[in-house]
């Protein structure tokens, strides 16, 4: 969450909004009412003149003055943040988790969530970028964790016997495990590390005697 969040009042005009966006280099603002409570969010997309639909100039009663650059500018100039914003705002509480934030953004299809305190007052803003950055863990950090914590720590195996490379969160791991089931559990453990996007399994194990089965049938050799 960014606590240094700029909000604009409901009464702000179109020009003010555009100026603020340019000045702050952001594409959206929470809109607050007189009491500082979040009323909505206005974004660049809201400012695009989509509301000049053909109903204003086409058909009976259509107006020439309403269409064209002048009509659109006039309509735009007259609106305030309150009229442009998407409301009610989808907000998230201060104590919610990153996972909740991510889920909310996904289900409500919003790119940013104003963060509010218990009284609904704006406390900050969290954006998709903030949430996704949890997943952008440095590759070498992930590699260290695989080698030291998982292979050496959890499985008590010699890290030098394995080759681990990580590129953009994709872990490729190769080495000789004592049994197939060990290799499988090792891959699973690596898969659930923070920041790991995917695992390429290049593990090997010694060939195993199939268990003796009634009737002499052989089981699977392995995946």
Partner 1 sequence: MGDTLEVVWDDALAAYDFGAGHPFAPVRIELTMALARGLGVFDAPGVSLAVPEPACDALLESLHDPAYIAAVRRAGGKEALPDPVFGLGTMDNPVFAGMHEASALVVGATVAAASAVWGGVAGHAANLAGGLHHAMPAGASGFCVYNDPVIAIKWLLAHGADRIGYVDLDVHHSDGVLAAFYADPRVLTISMHEHPRTLFPGTGLPAETGSGAGAGYAVNVALPAGTGDAGWLRAFDAIVPPLLRVFRPHVLVSQHGCDGHRLDPLAHLDLSVDAMKAAYAAVHQLAHETAGGRWVLTGGGGYALVQVVPRAWTHLLAEAAGQPVDPRAQTPPAWRKYAQARTGEPAPEWMTDGEPATYRPFHEGYDPSDHVDRSIMATRTAVFPHHGLHPQP
Please report, as ranges, the residues that interact with partner 1 according to CB under 8 A: 54, 57-59, 62-71, 73
Residue spans of beta strands (DSSP E) within 36-185: 38-43, 92-93, 112-116, 122-127, 162-167, 170-176
Report how far residue 183's alpha carbon sits from residue 204's, in angstroms, rounded to the nearest whole number: 7
Residue 27 or 67: the one with the smaller Cβ distance to partner 1 is 67
CB of 78 to partner 1, least distance (A): 14
Name which of 74, 48, 78 is nearest 63 in CA terms: 74
Name which of 96, 98, 89 is nearest 127 in CA terms: 98
CB of 49 to partner 1, least distance (A): 11
Residue 53 or 206: the one with the smaller Cβ distance to partner 1 is 53
Report how far residue 125's alpha carbon sits from residue 5's, in angstroms, rounded to the nearest whole number: 6
Residue 16 or 72: the one with the smaller Cβ distance to partner 1 is 72
- What backbone torsions phi and psi does residue 115 show, to the nearest 5 degrees? -95, 130
CB of 47 to partner 1, least distance (A): 18
Residue 60 or 118: the one with the smaller Cβ distance to partner 1 is 60
Strands 38-43, 28-32: pairing is antiparallel
- Residues 6+ away with beta carbon under 8 Å from 220: none
CB of 64 to partner 1, least distance (A): 4
Residue 52 or 87: the one with the smaller Cβ distance to partner 1 is 52
The kind and range of the H/E element at 97 are none
Confirm if 63 and 56 have CB atoms less than 8 A apart.
yes
Residue 68 or 88: the one with the smaller Cβ distance to partner 1 is 68
Length of the chain: 223
CB of 77 to partner 1, least distance (A): 13
CB of 62 to partner 1, least distance (A): 6
């Amino acid at each position: 969450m960014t606590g240094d969040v700029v909000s604009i009042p409901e009464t702000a005009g179109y020009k003010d909004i555009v100026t603020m966006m340019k000045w702050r280099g952001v594409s959206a603002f929470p809109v607050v009412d007189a009491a500082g409570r979040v009323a909505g969010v206005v974004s660049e997309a809201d400012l695009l003149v989509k509301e000049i639909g053909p109903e204003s100039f086409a058909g009976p009663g259509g107006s020439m003055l309403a269409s064209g650059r002048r009509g659109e500018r006039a309509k735009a100039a007259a609106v305030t943040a309150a009229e442009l914003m998407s409301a009610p705002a989808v907000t998230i509480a201060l104590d919610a988790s990153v996972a909740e934030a991510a889920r909310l953004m996904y289900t409500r299809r919003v790119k940013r969530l104003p963060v509010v305190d218990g009284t609904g007052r704006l406390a900050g803003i969290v954006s998709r970028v903030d949430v996704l950055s949890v997943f952008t863990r440095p590759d070498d950090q992930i590699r260290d964790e695989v080698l030291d914590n998982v292979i050496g720590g959890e499985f008590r195996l010699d890290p030098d016997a394995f080759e681990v490379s990580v590129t953009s969160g994709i872990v490729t791991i190769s080495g000789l495990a004592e049994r197939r089931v060990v290799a499988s559990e090792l891959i699973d453990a690596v898969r659930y590390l923070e920041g790991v996007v995917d695992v390429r399994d290049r593990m090997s194990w010694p060939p195993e005697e199939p268990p003796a089965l009634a009737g002499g049938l052989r089981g699977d050799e392995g995946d």
